[in-house]
Amino acid sequence: LRAQYAALRHLPAQTLDGQSVKLQLNAGLLIDLGNMAETGADGIGLYRTEIPFMVRSAYPDVPTQAEIYRRVLEIADDKPVTFRTLDIGGDKTLPYFDGGVDENPAMGWRAIRIGLDRPAMLRQQLRAMILAAGDRHLRIMFPMIAEVAELVDARRILDDEMQLAQDRGQTLPNRLDVGTMLEVPALMWQLPALISRIDFLSVGSNDLLQFLFACDRGSPRLSDRYDTLSPAVMNFFRDLSRSTAESGCTVTVCGEMAGRPLEAMALIGLGLRSLSMSAGSIGPVKAMARSLDAHRLTTFLDHHSQSPNRSLRTLLKGYARDHG
């Protein structure tokens, strides 16, 4: 089976009806990047910068951070890398940063909330990314954005840092793309204002689903409570892909569901064309995409959009079986 996936490495993730799907990797350690060539991934769709922070015992200064990001860009070569700014707090703590205690950490002081309240940290991180990029393409993504105003504030800090870099005579990135995660449902009802201000959007379905269902993503007692293939989730993605179509804003799904073939199939059927996942999922998802007629599945999913069932899993499994 592994050999079968390896054979797909140089083949495009293109559906039977000619739809191209971009498949990228989620990464956080340099070791994850070793999988780039092996999987034939289109880039790093999500680089979780908190991971290298978590494995250190002291706060990495700007040169140390820049060195990490430079190596990531070098390994990725000419493929794009999407750097997500720190998502600490919640369940991800740093031994050298006191984030206090929240009763509901997932909804607490984390990610961009810390970044905007402690702008020195965010500033240093952005400075390191600009430094690391040199004249390369730089993509920066802000996590846990709940309001357009937060993106505007974060972007202002980034613009400042770009200006400072220019004033210092530094080489600037040949292209800068800015995006946000979509993990907080409130963002869904600010899409026109949001997408006119960003280049891309990436759905963090792990957090998004826990907020949509008010269901802790880490609780074993709740792990079977709601299904990722429920009508609500499917309708969310359909609405999202319709609202962003023709906007020029690329939408990626980078939560765990994007790496599961049945879920990935549904996402493609709902109109998504960019998925980011762990290395082991690229082969199976590509094999699925290459045997799928995306438009036919779209019709099927539209037909079942008001299903009273808790999940479309059984239906979709049947569909996958009957259609190769």
Which residues contact ligand PEP by CB under 6 A? 46, 48, 87, 183, 204-207, 254-255
Q: Which does 32 bind (CB under 5 to 8 A by kind): Mg ion, ligand PEP, none?
A: none
Q: How far is the CB of 183 from Mg ion (least distance, A)?
A: 5
Rounded to an integer, what distance in angstroms lies between the CA atom of residue 269 and that of residue 248? 20
CA distances (Å), origin 249, targets 21, 81, 177, 243, 258: 15, 17, 10, 10, 19
CB nearer to ligand PEP: pick between 231 and 255: 255
Neighbours of 306 (CB within 10 A): 8
Q: Which is nearer to Mg ion, 87 or 161 (CB)?
A: 87
Q: How many CA atoms lie within 13 A of 148 on its CB side?
A: 11
- Applying CB under 5 A, the span of 4-12, 23-31, 78-86, 176-184 interacting with Mg ion comes to 176-184
Residue 205 binding target from Mg ion, ligand PEP, none, CB below 5 to 8 Å by type = ligand PEP
Q: What is the DSSP string of 107-176?
A: GSS-THHHHHHSHHHHHHHHHHHHHHHTTSEEEEEESS--SHHHHHHHHHHHHHHHHHHHHTTPPPPSEE
Q: Smallest gap, in angstroms, from Cβ of residue 181 to Mg ion? A: 6
What does the block give as tokens for 108?
Answer: 């607490």
CB of 164 to ligand PEP, least distance (A): 29
β-strand partners of 275 = 23, 253
- Binds 255: which of Mg ion, ligand PEP, none (CB < 5-8 Å by kind): ligand PEP
Residue closer to ligand PEP, measured from CB, 204 or 269: 204
Q: Could you identify the residue written with the tokens 């799907």? A: 21
- For ligand PEP, the closer of residues 14 and 206 by Cβ is 206
- Report, in Å, the least distance between residue 279 CB and Mg ion: 19
Q: For the chain, how big is the Rg over CA atoms in Å?
A: 20
- Residue 173 to residue 166: CA distance in whole angstroms: 10
Q: CB-wise, 179 or 255, nearer to ligand PEP? A: 255
Which residue number has the CB closest to ligand PEP? 204
User: Does 45 interact with Mg ion (rule: CB under 5 A)?
Assistant: no
- Measured from the CB atom, the residue of 84 and 127 that comes closer to Mg ion is 84
Shortest Cβ 46–ligand PEP spacing (Å): 6
Pattern of binders to Mg ion over 204-243, x per CB under 5 A? x--x------------------------------------
Q: Closest approach of Cβ 177 to ligand PEP, in Å? A: 18
Query: What's the closest the beta carbon of residue 114 comes to ligand PEP, in angstroms?
Result: 14
Q: Which of these ranges, 183-191, 224-232, 260-268, 279-287, lies near Mg ion under the rule CB under 5 A?
A: 183-191
How many residues line the site for Mg ion (CB under 5 A)?
3
- In sequence order, what are the residues at sequence separation of 6 or more whose Cβ sits closer than 8 angstroms to the Cβ of residue 23? 13, 41, 42, 275, 276, 277, 282, 285, 286, 289
Measure the CA–CA gap between 84 and 188, rounded to whole angstroms.
20
| Alpha-carbon torsion angle 18, 245, 188, 102, nearest 10 | 50
Closest-CA residue to 198 (of 137, 162, 145): 145
Residues of this chain that interact with Mg ion (CB under 5 A) are 183, 204, 207
